Amino acid sequence: MTKENKLSTFFTWFLIGSVFLLPIFFCPFIINPLINSKLLLVFLIAFVSVFVFIAQSIQKKSWEIIKTPFILPLFAFALLVIISSLVSHQYPSKQLLGMGGAYLAFASIIMLAPSILKDKFSKYFIVASNIAALVLSVLSIAQALGFGLSSLINRTGILELPDSLAFSLSGSTFVAIQFLSAVLLSNVFDQKSWQKSLFNKITTVFIAIALGVNVLAILPKGEASFQSLSLANSVSVARGSLTFTRNALFGYGPDSYGNAYNILKPLSVNGLDYWQFTFDSAFNLPLTILVSVGSIAFLAYAIFLVKTVIAVKKKTEEEVFLKTFILTALVWQFLVPVNLVMLFLLALALAFFINAYRDKYKKISFSVHSLTDLLHRGKWTKTKNLAFIGGNVAISLFAIIALYVIAKNFFAYHLLYKSSVSISKNQVADAYDYHKKAKLLAPQVAFIRRSYSLLNLQIAIALSNKADISPAEQEQVLQLVNQAIGEAKAATVLDPSNYQNWSVLSQIYMQLLDTTSQAQQEAFNSLAKAATYNPGNPEIRIILGQLFFNVKKYSEATTFFNQAIERKPDMFLAHYYLAQTLIANKQLAEAKASLVNSLNLLDKGTDEYKTVEDELNALIEQIENNAKAAEPIDQVPGSVIPDLSEASSKLSTLDKEDAEAAIQESALTPDQSLVEN
């Protein structure tokens, strides 16, 4: 067997193994394991595809890609993903480490893999997918009977996975349904293979049972019921994304649908049960692409889909399983949110399908002569050879750098997991060290900086609350606050359109309200930014109202509480806080109406209802007695609402000069090097 054949054989079996692993691969030792496990695997598949393609091109002395009808729109889509990442974010690392990288991996597999695969190996795609479906089916049935895998995984670490069908190795019960349905339909339509194989018949029976079990679990009130963004609201967000030219053309960033959703979600969502959720995907993949990558990429992907359907439908003689699997996966893209399992199983199925019909397609080839006799060739041949060598070197270097960066980030995710383990064991120093190392490994990932900021803040609060705090510990509190502010500001620079980054920064400043007046202005500025990037969120308006209430600026507080009510009329806290503000501002009649509204939103018989009812009766009595004036109060005694000043006093051990120094010294600007910080 030649080296070329060995390489092709290795790659073919690697992809077959990937078909088996994608639905069931799960690594519990990283944060957010259900998603990051799949992301880690798809990046590995893409990098192996690139490196094997380069190695094979050197052996063949040519670049060869099978020319399919959809390769051009797919290439355009990949290029637009890169452009969107660069245009939408000053620091695009998170975009390319998330869905942006996943889209690029998807395109690279479909473009490169078919020319590397060995011929007549597509039958093993059927075997691998059926084995994976059988494993997933058995685990689903076992989970339904109370013998699930989740309890075993929970014993190995700190994860608290549900011991029900709400857990699935595929990522979710709904993803399992998609995969099982695709394999089931493919088996049924591929009668020739199904009738010849006893294994396929047995597998099909298990898949059908497991599919029914999982479908029952996701029904309303089922143990695995879930909530996705509705089609109507997804369309509303997509329509809003087309308002501004840059976002319309290039989107909000491949991994930033959640940011776009928070900015553009309709106010009607606040009347739904899931009003507090941030959705990272639209109702389906096309709408997600339209918002996150832009209208041009949406058009390119739509052309890819159309040409794929046409190409697959033309090939009707053989490969019925692959054809059915591809078409089923494409249909699911219009009915469900994005998921990595089905997206990359589609890519692998297309790779095997194209390879099976490689003789029907032309090849795009760039050949060179022997690299050893470069000096004996003509000028054009030398140019081609140099271009070939330079191209391979450039692609290899880019892939190696990308692999290094991705490996660092996933190791950082592992360190964050170890930090969480340490916290669960009350080993705070170890948790802090692990988190710090994670930040140093992945300094441009905003959520790592944000979580590191919160860890600093929590430790500072714990130290500050000690009864006998020493001067050394006081100095440590100052350093931790300084670090918390700096890390939170870094997160806002890395991902300024994520409202959570601004909320965390405001949370830190609000801990310093009793220490320095400068903190109030900084807290307001941060909350104002948070409100800009999540304008429909009533909770941010309530916090802004509390901020002004505590400094007795009742007019401003009233404005923000009213804004919260406009956004969510059935929110008890908004009406209640408005009533307290109106009482403090001696507007007793208006306060009575607000207390009535807040009372109507509570269930009778609860402690909260009784407290608010007593306050309302006291207020009515005061009005009836025609009191000359109501004494301004910060809060009605016995109130069910926590006083913001109590929370802010947690760091009141800092003196004014130290607090102001922490605020000033932690300042970051977008021009500063975040890596060095």
- Rounded to an integer, the average pLDDT of 341-362 is 92
Task: Tokens for 626, please give them.
Answer: 């025609």
Tell me how far apart the alpha carbons of residues 111 and 68 are, in angstroms, rounded to a whole number: 9
Per-residue pLDDT reduced to its tens digit, 577-599? 999 999 998 888 899 999 999 98
- Residue 469 pLDDT level (bands cut at 50, 70, 90): confident
Contact predicate 673/444, CB 8 Å = no
Look up residue 42 and give its amino acid.
V
Whether residue 83 is contained in a domain is answered as yes
Interatomic CA distance for residues 94 and 102, integer angstroms: 12
Buried residues in 35-47 as b, exposed as e (16+ CB within 10 A): bbbbbbbbbbbbb
Counting Cβ atoms within 10 Å, is residue 145 exposed (0-12), middle (13-18) or buried (19+)?
A: exposed
Q: What is the DSSP string of 248-266?
A: HHH-S-TT-HHHHHHHH--
Residue with tokens 């990272």: 280
Q: Which stretch, 58-62, 130-134, 363-367, 627-631, has highest mean pLDDT? A: 130-134
311 touches 70 (CB < 8 A): yes
Q: What percent of the chain has pLDDT over 70?
A: 88
Determine the 3-state secondary structure of 67 from DSSP: strand
The pLDDT value given to residue 622: 84
CB 19 within 8 A of CB 128: yes
Other Cβ atoms less than 10 A from the Cβ of 55: the count is: 17
Three-state SS letters, 362-416: EEEEEECCCHHHHHHCCHHHHHHHHHHHHHHHHHHHHHHHHHHHHHHHHHHHHHH
Residue 216 domain flag:
yes
> 263 and 534 in contact (C-beta within 8 Å)?
yes
Q: Is residue 277 part of a domain?
A: no
Amino acid occupying residue 496: P
Q: Which of 614, 633, 652 is the last residue of a domain?
A: 633
The span from the CA of 208 to the CA of 55, in Å, is 42
Tell me the residue range of the domain where 42 lies: 3-228+291-367
Instruction: Evaluate if residue 47 carries a pLDDT over 90.
Output: yes
C-alpha closest to that of 149 among 28, 20, 21, 36: 28
The pLDDT value recorded for residue 2 is: 59
435 and 421 Cβ atoms separated by less than 8 Å: no
* Tokens matching residue 630: 């109501």
Buried b / exposed e along 74-99 (16+ C-beta atoms within 10 A): bbbbbebbbbbbebbbebbbbbbbbb
Q: Determine, yes or no, domain membership for 15.
A: yes
Looking at residue 665, its pLDDT comes to 53
What average pLDDT does the segment 200-214 reach? 90
Chain-centroid distance of CA 424 in Å reads: 24
User: In total, how many domains does the chain have?
Assistant: 2
Mean per-residue pLDDT of the chain = 86
Give domain status of residue 404, yes or no: no
Residue 485 contacts residue 535 (beta carbons within 8 Å): no
- Token pair of 248, please? 């319309």
In a domain, 413, yes or no: no
Categorize the per-residue pLDDT at 360 as very low, low, confident or very high, splitting at 50, 70 and 90.
confident
β-strands 362-367, 62-67: how paired? antiparallel
- CA atoms within 13 A of residue 47's CA, in its CB half-sphere: 18
Last residue of a domain, one of 333, 367, 401: 367
DSSP-H helix ranges across 145-172: 150-155
Counting every residue, how long is the chain? 677
**For the segment 318-347, what is each residue's pLDDT rounded down to a tens digit?**
788 999 999 999 999 999 999 999 999 999
pLDDT in tens, 480-506: 999 999 999 999 999 999 999 999 999
User: CA-to-CA distance for 269 and 279, rounded, in angstroms?
Assistant: 12
- Pick the last residue of a domain from 327, 343, 367: 367
- Which has the closest alpha carbon to 169: 146, 145, 137, 207? 137
Burial of 578 (0-12, 13-18, 19+ CB in 10 A): buried
pLDDT digits (tens, 9 = 90+) for 50-90: 999 999 888 888 888 888 888 999 999 999 999 999 999 99
% of the chain with per-residue pLDDT over 90? 58
Q: Hey, CA dihedral for 519, 521, 524, 529, is it positive or negative? A: negative
Per DSSP, the three-state class of 334 is coil
- State how far the Cα of 415 lies from the Cα of 417, in Å rounded to an integer: 5
Quickly count: other Cβ atoms within 10 Å of residue 156's Cβ. 9
Whether the per-residue pLDDT at 144 is higher than 60: the answer is yes
**For 232-252, what is each residue's pLDDT tens digit?**
999 999 999 999 889 999 999
Least confident range from 218-227, 387-396, 628-637: namely 628-637
Query: Within 13 Å of residue 433, how many CA atoms lie on the same side as its CB?
Result: 5
3-state SS class at 149: coil
Task: Provide the CA 513 distance to its chain's centre, in angstroms.
Answer: 33
Q: What is the pLDDT of residues 530-553, one digit of tens each?
A: 999 999 999 999 999 999 998 889
pLDDT at position 12 over 70:
yes
Residue 201 has pLDDT above 50, yes or no: yes
Separation between Cα atoms, residue 674 and residue 444, nearest integer Å = 7
Mean pLDDT of 545-565: 92
Output the six-digit token pair for 504: 């965390």
Q: SS3 for 418-457, per residue?
A: HHHHHHHCCCHHHHHHHHHHHHHHCCCCHHHHHHHHHHHH
CA dihedral 416, 422, 427, 428 (to 10 degrees): 20
Residue 532 vs residue 643, higher pLDDT: 532
Question: Own/partner pairs for 368-375, CB < 8 Å, 24+ apart?
Answer: 368/61, 368/62, 369/61, 370/61, 371/61
Take residue 618 and report the two structure tokens written for it.
Answer: 């006291």
Q: State yes or no: pLDDT of 203 exceeds 80.
A: yes
In a domain, 497, yes or no: no
What is the mean pLDDT of the segment spanning 290-318? 90
Give yes or no for residue 1 having a pLDDT over 80: no
Q: pLDDT tier at 380 (50, 70, 90 boundaries)?
A: low
| Residue 627 pLDDT > 90 | no
Give CA–CA dist 328/315, Å, rounded. 16
Q: Whose structure tokens read 């893999």?
A: 113
For 463, other C-beta atoms within 10 Å of its C-beta total 17
Distance CA 357, CA 69 (A): 13
Distance CA 581, CA 7 (A): 73
Instruction: Name the nearest CA neighbour of 207 among 150, 163, 149, 141.
Output: 141
Is residue 267 classed as helix, strand or coil in its secondary structure? helix
Residue 21 counted as domain residue: yes
- Give the pLDDT of residue 314: 79
Could you tell me the CATH number of the domain that includes residue 627?
1.25.40
pLDDT of res. 653: 58
Mean pLDDT calculated for residue range 571-575? 93
Task: Answer whether 611's CB lies under 8 Å from 580's CB.
Answer: no
